[in-house]
Structure 1
């Protein structure tokens, strides 16, 4: 199962979401007007990346359910 390319792509998408989240939190921690704008931008990118990750996971589950295992 860990050799499945779709699973690997979905896991990488989850990792990207985590990295973007940590960057946004770090930017928010710094404070200031510029950091606030940057943190907001990171969180917007996180939402997009999170949507992509959820779609990839749903596709993975759908296709694996079709194959019966």
Structure 2
């Protein structure tokens, strides 16, 4: 089982980094006009992308923590 969980952790870590980079890219693509527009008009596409990537990063980190907890529980 350990041999299965270690690659899963590696894949989850890669997914965390990818979602982090995609979120940073979406943040950098936000223009000054996006930041200065009327907030009552709703979120822009880049702001929605930042939100989706942040949620994905948190989800993958939580899954990685669960897998590490499983590995630690199995090691005892």
TM-score, normalising length: structure 1: 0.79
What are the superposed Cα offsets for residues 22-61 of structure 1, whole Å, 9 maximum, x if unpaired? 1111111100322112111110111111101111111112
RMSD (Å), alpha carbons: 1.5
Aligned residues: 63
Structure scoring higher RCO (CA < 8 A, sep ≥ 6) equals: 2
Larger Rg: 2
Q: Provide structure 2 residue ranges, at least 5 long, that are not aligned to the other structure.
A: 35-43
* In 1: Cα distance, 2:7 partner to 2:52 partner: 27
Q: Where has structure 1 moved over 4 Å in runs of 4 or more?
A: none
Q: Provide structure 1 residue ranges, at least 5 long, that are not aligned to the other structure.
A: none
